Amino acid sequence: MSAFDILKQVIADQQAQQAREAEEPVVDKAQTTLPLNEPAEPTYQGAEVLPIDPAALDLKSDYSQTKELYQDSNYPQLLKEFKEQAAINGSPIFMGIGGHSGRGKTGIAMDAFMHYRKDNEMMWCYDFDFGANDCKQAHYPGADNIIRIWNPWVTQPNDRTAFDYPKTHQRVMDLCRFAIEYAKKQKEPGFNGQVLKALLITAVDQFDNVCINNMKIYDLEMDAKDAIEAAASKLNKEIGWNWSIRKTRFKQLTALCRQLNFLGVDVFWETHIKSGDDEYSHDGWKFVWEKDANNDLTQILWCKDEVVRDEDGKPTGETRYIVEFTKCKTNADLQGQERTFFITKKGQPAEWLGLAELRSRSV
C-alpha cells in the first residue's frame, strides 16, 4: 500500500470515529438520579449550561480587543463611530405628560429632576405657557442656576398679531440645536461647566399650533403676512390644512429631542388634553399634539384628578391627583398602573407626594 493510500485510510478512520461520537448522547451521571418527570439540565460534554451574569462580563476588555483587531476600514468615519459607541450613555426617558391645566404635569417632571439630579446637573425648560417659570418660582425660587427657563416665543413688532410664528418655529429649532451642541461639548475632555441633564418643554400643544400657523402663513404660499390674513384667505377656506407639512414641522422637534436622548439628556414634553374618540384617545380624551407623538414617545403619563366621596356619594373635600402610565416601553411593570402624586383637602395644607418611579429614574 502506498503512502498516499495509507493517508487516505487514516483520514477515513478519523471521520468515522467523529461520526460515532456525534451520535452518542452525553450523559451527566449526576442527572441519572432525577425523577422521570423532572428533565435534566442540558449539558455539553458534561458541563452544565449556566445563565450569563452581565455583571461578570469584562465589557471594557472586550471593547479594547475589538479596537486592536480591527483598525483599517473603507468607512473610517463609521469605524470611529462604532468604537465610540461603547462610551455612549444615552437616556431612556422621552416622556410625554398630559392632562388638564393645573393637574401637576410640570410639577411631576421638575420634582423628579430635583430629586435625581447630581450637584452639577441642570434642567432647561422651553416654556410655551410659562408654567415652568411659575413652578420654579413657587417651589424652587433659589434654583436659578439649576433650572434654566427659556422663552421660545418671538413677538411681532406691531399689534395685529402677538407672535411671529415663522421666527418662533426657527427659535425653537435653534434652541434645540444649541442644546445638542452643549450636550456634545459637555462630553469632551476638560469640560468643567454645568451638565445639561434634562429638557422640559411645556405646552407642546402650543408648539403644534405654531406648526399649524406656519403651514397656513408660509408653507401653502398664500402670500399672507400673518395668521389672521392666512385664516381669512380664499385658499385656506377651499383646501384647508396640509397635514403633511404640519406633521413635518412638528417631527423636527421630535428628531432633535431624540438626538438629545442619544447624548444622555432626559426629555419631557408636557401638553394639555381635549375630548376625542379615536385610536389615539384614552377614556374619551386625547393629548393635544401631532398624533404621531403617541408612537414616538417612550413613556406617556396621563394626569387626572379624583374627588373623594363618602358612603352617601357626597364630596369629602379631598381630591386626589393621579397619574396613569398609559405607555411605558422601558418598564412593563408600570404599564397601565396608577400612582397618587398629590392630595388636597379642604381647609388643610396640600400634600405633594411626587412620582417615586420617576424620582429614581426607574421608569
Does residue 317 lie in a domain region? yes
- Cα distances from 173 to residues 94, 216, 231, in angstroms, run 18, 19, 25
- Cα distances from 360 to residues 53, 57, 117, 122, 191, in angstroms, run 24, 26, 10, 16, 26
Are the beta carbons of 301 and 222 closer than 8 angstroms?
no
Per residue in 54-113, pLDDT tens?
555 555 555 444 445 567 788 888 888 887 776 678 999 999 999 988 899 999 999 999
We report the CATH number of the domain holding residue 212 as 3.40.50.300
Does residue 236 lie in a domain region? yes
Q: Which helix (H) or strand (E) holds 51?
A: none
Does residue 28 lie in a domain region? no
CA atoms within 13 A on the CB side of 246: 19
Alpha carbon distance 252, 114 (integer Å): 28
Number of domains in the chain: 1
Per residue in 221-261, pLDDT tens?
555 555 445 444 545 555 555 667 778 888 999 999 999 99
Q: Would you give the distance in Å from CA 197 to the centre of its chain?
A: 13
Alpha carbon distance 139, 114 (integer Å): 11
Which position has the higher pLDDT, 335 or 21?
Answer: 335
Per residue in 119-162, pLDDT tens?
999 999 999 999 999 999 999 999 999 999 999 999 987 766 67
Q: Would you put residue 194 in left (φ > 0), alpha (ψ -120 to 50) or beta?
A: beta
Q: Give me the domain span that covers residue 168.
A: 94-359
Does residue 215 lie in a domain region? yes
Does residue 10 lie in a domain region? no
